[in-house]
């Protein structure tokens, strides 16, 4: 069997560290067996689609050194590799299942479904995703109605049995059939759901191992049933443990920067990040004394990595550990290579340098002043007050001035920064004008009830460590999204996060502000 693996990111935002992690494991397994590693773009969910996100995935994976053998920008024998270009294939495959009796057309509208769900709830009856009403339609009648709006649903088994998937790491995972429901395969707009598109592609791309995150386990039984309904071989399933925050919750932007581009822009070395990702769950090559070698390369992984030995305990994304690994790689560099890295980091992107010239040149008389004015475009920000930076870890430190407005509790400032971060994250275009609109326009009520002056100062200080900078929105534009979000996350890490109760209160106040603004607008 040729080992063929894939990753299938959805272009819905910044390229996630989880994509890097999956990419590394999938690539290593394919290379270990002389097989192929594929990149598929799962872009059928048009509501969540974000322009630029696909290119960002390519850039981030290439920066890491994870090169794919077949993919949207490279082609290959099974293309196209972008799901939005394969809709005719999914339609054909959905109809194949209707014909073979494994799927059926369902004409229930969402209003009807909602009413039946409410009725079931009132009568305390179980109503899983769908009650199977259209199963009873006469297939010939249903065919005659094919011009009406409808979806195609999979006919799940309704017997007392179980559906079992074999997971490489977890062994058999059983789901009682009573827990399954007739999921939609093809939506009324003709687009496939993830389930149909993923199974069809995994078969047509001859994927031998589906290695993906644990969060896809619930989709496993349906995928298994779909492979069987088509009469196709079932690939090996391997659901990898989720990467977690230090508190064991699923890795989240609130606790760790999750964009691969953040790590690139913050000056991590790709080989260090790969090493760190390799440590997650695997731990590294075994040493003679039974421990693990912490520092290793992808070549070491190719030699020693064993997918089936991966630990299921959720690996923790420990930023301090990553920094430690990165520091090791930096120290290993010979002066020439180190200097090259510094050059690449600082001036490797002439467009970046040129974009900030209009912001800093009016404030300079000599070139010697450049770094005084422009330091924060190149350098991380320490949000701790300069006098307190040397204090022992654990001791209470003052923060850099302006990050928390006078009279505001630090927890509340944390919340405002998290609102800011969310609002900026959701922006597609990243121009000064758009940023200003988002932060000053009507949507800004969601951010805080602070005076705009305080809000903009907190943001300015969070991204620059300074109370004075060139124009805030222009600075945000030039710094770019991943740096800005990373710095907001850095600032949030020095602030205390609100407890559950306080968070609820803050969220409630925010929702009331939004509702109040909506009423005002409609009264006007
Ligand atoms: N598009 C899915 C994702 O974004 C792919 C899941 C899978 O690997 O099957 O993670």
Going from the N-terminus, what domains does the chain have, and what CATH number goes with each? 4-84+244-309 (3.40.50.620), 86-240 (3.90.800.10), 397-523 (1.10.10.350)
- Residues 226, 237: contact at Cβ < 8 Å? no
Give the closest residue (by CA) to ligand 1 atom 6: 8
What spacing in Å lies between the alpha carbon of 211 and ligand 1's midpoint?
10
Task: Write out the H or E segment, with its range, that includes residue 303.
Answer: helix 298-304
> Phi/psi zone of residue 271: left (φ > 0), alpha (ψ -120 to 50 degrees), beta?
alpha
- Quick check: 194 and 200 in contact, CB under 8 A? no
**pTM for the whole thing?**
0.89
Listed residue (109, 108, 125) closest to 117, CA to CA: 125
User: Using an 8 Å Cβ cutoff, are 146 and 105 in contact?
Assistant: yes
Ligand 1 atom with least separation from CA of 202: 9
Pull the structure tokens for residue 323.
Answer: 């920094």
Q: Which residues contact 10 (CB under 8 A, 6 or more apart)?
A: 41, 42, 43, 45, 48
Q: Which residues in the chain show pLDDT less than 70?
A: 253-255, 524
**Distance from the alpha carbon of residue 216 to the mean position of ligand 1, in angstroms:** 8
Rg (CA), the chain: 26
Is any ligand 1 atom within 6 A of the Cβ of residue 10? yes
Inter-residue contact 384 to 397 (CB < 8 Å):
yes
* Atom number, ligand 1, closest to the C-alpha of residue 19: 10
Q: Is 216 in the pocket of ligand 1 (CB under 6 A)?
A: yes
**Rounded distance between C-alpha atoms, residue 512 and residue 510, angstroms:** 5
Ligand 1 proximity of 198 Cβ (cutoff 6 Å): yes
Q: Is the shortest distance between the CB of 9 and ligand 1 below 6 Å?
A: yes
Q: Pairing state of beta strands 184-186 and 151-154?
A: antiparallel
Cα dihedral: 500, 506, 511, 513 (round 10): 180
Closest ligand 1 atom to Cα of 12: 4
Enzyme catalytic residues:
253
Helix (H) or strand (E) run with residue 122 in it: helix 110-122
Which is the closest atom of ligand 1 to the Cα of 219? 9
- Whether 470 lines ligand 1, by a CB cut-off of 6 Å, is no
CB 27 within 8 A of CB 58: no
Query: Does the C-beta of 220 come closer than 6 Å to ligand 1?
Result: no
Nearest CA to ligand 1 atom 8: 212
Angle, alpha carbons 69-217-150 (nearest 5°) = 90
Read off the tokens for 487. Answer: 């710095």
Measured CA to CA in angstroms, residue 249 lies from 25, 230, 493 at distances of 22, 37, 16
Please report the pLDDT score of residue 49 as a whole number.
86
Pairwise CA distance, residues 247 & 241, whole Å: 15
Ligand 1 close to Cβ of residue 265 (< 6 A): no
Mutation test residue for ligand 1: of 5, 7, 10, the one with most atoms within 8 Å of CB: 10
């Amino acid at each position: 069997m040729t080992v063929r693996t894939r990753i299938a990111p959805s272009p819905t935002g910044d390229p996630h560290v989880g994509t890097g992690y999956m990419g590394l494991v999938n690539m290593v397994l394919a290379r270990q067996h002389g097989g192929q590693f594929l990149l598929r773009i799962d872009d059928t969910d048009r509501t969540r689609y974000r322009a630029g996100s696909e290119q960002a995935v390519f850039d981030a994976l290439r920066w890491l050194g994870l090169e794919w053998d077949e993919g949207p920008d490279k082609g290959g024998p099974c293309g196209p590799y972008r799901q939005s270009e394969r809709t005719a294939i999914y339609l054909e495959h959905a109809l194949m299942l209707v014909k073979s009796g494994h799927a059926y057309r369902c004409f229930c509208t969402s209003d009807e479904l909602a009413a039946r769900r409410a009725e079931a709830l009132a009568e305390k009856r179980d109503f899983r995703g769908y009650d199977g009403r259209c199963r009873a339609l006469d297939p010939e009648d249903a065919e005659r109605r094919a011009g009406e709006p409808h979806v195609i649903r999979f006919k799940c088994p309704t017997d007392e049995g179980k559906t079992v998937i074999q997971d490489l790491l977890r062994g058999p995972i059983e789901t009682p059939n009573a827990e399954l429901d007739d999921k939609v395969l093809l939506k009324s707009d003709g687009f496939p759901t993830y389930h149909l598109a993923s199974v069809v592609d995994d078969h047509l791309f001859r994927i031998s191992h589906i290695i993906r995150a644990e969060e896809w386990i619930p989709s496993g039984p349906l995928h298994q049933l779909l492979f069987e309904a088509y009469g196709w071989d079932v690939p090996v399933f391997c659901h990898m443990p989720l990467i977690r925050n230090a508190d064991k919750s699923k890795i989240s932007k609130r606790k760790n920067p999750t964009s691969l581009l953040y790590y690139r822009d913050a000056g991590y070395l790709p080989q260090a990040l790969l090493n760190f990702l390799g440590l997650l769950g695997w731990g590294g090559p075994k040493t003679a004394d039974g421990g693990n070698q912490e520092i290793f390369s992808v070549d070491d992984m190719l030699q020693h990595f064993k997918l089936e030995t991966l630990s299921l305990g959720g690996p923790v994304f420990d930023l301090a550990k990553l920094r430690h690994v990165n520091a090791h790689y930096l120290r290993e560099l010979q002066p020439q290579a180190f200097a090259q890295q510094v050059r690449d980091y600082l001036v490797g992107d002439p467009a970046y340098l040129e974009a900030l010239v209009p912001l800093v040149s009016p404030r300079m008389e000599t070139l010697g002043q450049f770094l005084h004015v422009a330091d924060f475009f190149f350098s991380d920000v320490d949000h701790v007050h300069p006098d307190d930076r040397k204090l022992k870890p654990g001791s209470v430190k003052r923060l850099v001035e302006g990050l928390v407005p006078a009279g505001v509790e630090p927890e509340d400032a944390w919340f405002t920064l998290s609102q800011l971060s969310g609002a900026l994250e959701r922006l597609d275009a990243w121009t000064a004008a758009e940023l200003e609109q988002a932060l000053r326009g009507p949507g800004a009520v969601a951010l805080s009830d602070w005076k705009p002056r305080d809000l903009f100062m907190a943001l300015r200080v969070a991204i620059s460590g300074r109370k004075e900078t060139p124009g805030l929105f222009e600075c945000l534009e030039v710094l770019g999204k991943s740096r800005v979000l990373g710095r907001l996350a850095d600032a949030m890490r020095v602030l205390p996060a609100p407890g559950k109760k306080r968070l609820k209160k803050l969220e409630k106040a925010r929702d009331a502000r939004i509702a109040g603004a909506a009423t005002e607008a409609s009264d006007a």
